[in-house]
Amino acid sequence: MSTSTAAVHDLLPPIRRRRTRVGLVAGGLGTYWPQFPGLLPQLQESTRYVVDRFGGLDAEVIDTGFISDAQEARVAADTLRTADCDLIVVFLTTYLTSSMVLPIAQRAGVPVLVIDLQPSERMDHDRFDTGLWLAYCGQCPVPEVANVFRRAGIEFRSVTGHLRSERAWRRIERWVHAAGVRARLREARHGLMGHLYPGMLDVSTDLTLLSTHFGSHVEVLEFDDLRVRVDAVTDAEVRERVALAREVFEVDASVDQEDFDWGARVSVGLDRLVADFDLDSLAYYHRGLEGEQHERLGAGMILGASLLNARGLPAVGEYELRTSVAMLAAQALGVGGSFTEIQAINFDDDVVEMGHDGPAHLAISSSRPILRGLGVFHGKRGYGVSVEFDVQPGPVTTFGLGQDRDGALSFVTSEGEVVPGPLLAIGNTTSRVDFGGDPGEWVDEWSRTGIGHHWGLCVGHVARDVAAAASLLGIDHRHVSAPFDDADGFERSLGSTRR
C-alpha cells in the first residue's frame, strides 16, 4: 500500500456490508470407522486444520461438522439451506459415496466447491497399511462426485492438493473471494440517477437483467432526490468537507474556491443520498441547460463521487450502470476499480492510455491525487473541479460487464501493467497500460468481447478471480490476452467460458 493509499484509507474508512458466508462440511465413509479405529481421529484432526484455515479468512464460516453417511448429509444440507450461504465447501477426507454429497448441493441451492486435501505431499509406502492409506484417498471419489453433479445439472468445482499446500489454499481462497463477489451482487442496491447520455446506445441496460442475473436491486433516482439533500447542507458542513478534501487532494491553483465549495456541498448531500437509499453503487448523468440547478448538480458530482469510490462505493458518470456493477465486484475482490475508457494509444511505447474525466478511485492512486479546476468538461455541460491521477504502477486488470444480443451478461477481463511515462494534465484519471502486445490489436480484440464504452481499471492480475466469480454467478467470463495478432481478426474465436 502506497503512502497516498494508506492516507486515503485512514481519512475515508471503507463502507462494508456483511461478511461472505461459507458453509463447510467434512466427511468420509462411516463403514471404515470400526474397521480402522485410528482413521476417524486422523481425519477429524485434518478437519480441524481446515476449519482453522477457513476461520482465518475474511468470511463467516458455518461448520456443520463431520458426516459419515447419507442421513447425516441430509441433516447438514438442511442446516446449510437455512443458513443462506454464498458458497458451500465439501471436504472429502477419504472415500465417501456420491449419495452423501449430492443432497448437500441439491437442497442448499448454493454453488459448491469440493476440496480433497491429503495429510501430506506423499505416503510413506514402506510403513503404511490400509488404514493409513485411506487418509490419503480423498481424491478417489472426486470423479464420482463430478459425474453425478454433471448428471444432476450441477456445476462441479474442485481443488485437489495436500493439507498444508499453500498453492492449493490459494486456489481455495480464490473461490472464497469469488463467493464474496456473489454475495455483494446478490444483496446490492444500485442507484441509477438522471438519464442516459444522449446517443450512447451501448450504455443502455435493461434493469431487470441485474435482478435476474445477480439478484441485485436497482433504485431509480431523480436528481431532485439529490437536490433536496444538497439544499439542506450547512455552511459548517461545507467547510468540514473542504478541509477533508484538502487533506486527500493536492489542490491545484486552477481550483476556484466557489466551485470547490459547491463540490463539497454536493459531496455532503451525496453522502446523505447514499445513506438514505442504502446504496452500494451509483451511476448518474444529467445534461442540464444554461446553468440551471440540475446542471450544476451534475457538474458538481466529481469530488463527492471520488470520495465515495475511495470508500468502496462505486460512483460513476454517464449513467454507466453496468460499469458500476463491475466496479462493485472489483471492490469485493479488494482491487479497487477506477472508471475508465480508452483515451489514446502511444504506438512508440506500445501502451494504451486509458482513464476518464470525472470520478476516480482515490484508494488506488499512484500518488496524492490532484484536484484541478476545469472551465469545460469535454462533451458535457457545466464546469467545476475534476480529479487527476494515475493508477499505481505495476500489474492491473481491466474488468467490465459485457452484454450480448440475447441480453446475457458477461464478465470481461484483460491483464496488463501500468508503466511510467508522459500523461496529460487535463483533470483526467489517465494511466499508461502495456498489455504485452500491439496496443491497436488489443483494442480490436477487447472491443469484440461485448464490452461497452467503459470499464474498471483494477490493481493486480485478478482475471482468475473474476473467472471464478463468473462461475458462481452462472455467467460467461471472456478474457483477452497477448498475442493479439491473428491476420485480420475475422477468424479468431474469443476465449469464453460459459458457466
Interval 35-59 mean pLDDT: 94
Look at residue 4 and tell me whether its pLDDT is greater than 70. Answer: no
List CB contacts of 231: < 8 A, sequence separation 6 or more: 269
Q: Work out the angle between the directed axes of helices 463-473 and 166-186 (0-180°, nearest 10).
A: 50
Residue type, 147: N
Rounded Cα–Cα distance for residues 97 and 149 (Å): 13
Closest CA to 411 of 489, 365, 474: 474
**Whether 455 contacts 338, CB under 8 Å:** no
- State the pLDDT confidence band at 287, using cuts at 50, 70 and 90: confident
The architecture in CATH of the region 187-497 reads Alpha-Beta Barrel (3.20)
Lowest-confidence region among 157-166, 269-278, 478-487: 478-487
- Between residues 14 and 380, the one the model is more confident about: 14
In three-state secondary structure terms, 356 is coil
- Residues 89 and 105: their CA atoms lie apart, in Å, by 10
CATH architecture classification, 20-185: 3-Layer(aba) Sandwich (3.40)
Structure confidence at residue 6 as a pLDDT band (50, 70, 90): low
Contact indicator for 101, 138 with CB cutoff of 8 Å: no
The H-or-E segment that residue 150 falls in is helix 142-152
Mean pLDDT for 458-478 is: 96
Question: For position 489, what pLDDT does the model report?
Answer: 41
pLDDT for residue 491: 38
Per-residue cell: 180: 464474496
Is 70 exceeded by the pLDDT of residue 494? no
C-alpha–C-alpha distance, residues 394 and 382, integer Å:
35
Task: Give the per-residue pLDDT at 358.
Answer: 67
What number is the average pLDDT over the span 474-486? Answer: 85
- Report residue 495's pLDDT band, with 50, 70 and 90 as the boundaries: very low
Give me the pLDDT at residue 388, please.
79
Residues composing the chain: 499
Q: What is the rounded average pLDDT of the residues 180-186?
A: 95
Using alpha carbons, select from 423, 401, 426, 428 the residue that is nearest to residue 412. 401
3-state secondary structure of 283: strand
pLDDT band for 295, please (50, 70, 90 cuts): confident
Q: Where are the domains of the chain?
A: 20-185, 187-497
Mean pLDDT for 471-482 is: 95
pLDDT for the residue 367:
77
Q: Which residues contact 248 (CB under 8 A, 6 or more apart)?
A: 7, 8, 11, 12, 307, 310, 362, 368, 369
Q: Is the pLDDT of residue 471 over 80?
A: yes
Q: What percent of the chain has pLDDT over 70?
A: 93
Inform me whether the pLDDT recorded for 335 exceeds 60: yes
Judged against a pLDDT cut of 70, whether residue 487 lies above it is answered with no
Q: What share of the chain has pLDDT > 90, as a percent?
A: 72
> Which is nearest to 322 in space by CA: 385, 411, 257, 387?
411
pLDDT tens digits, one per residue of 412-422: 999 999 999 98
Q: What are phi and psi of 489, to 5 degrees?
A: 85, 0
- The predicted pLDDT at position 3 comes to 44
Count of other CB atoms within 10 angstroms of residue 103:
17
pLDDT grade for 442, boundaries at 50, 70 and 90: very high
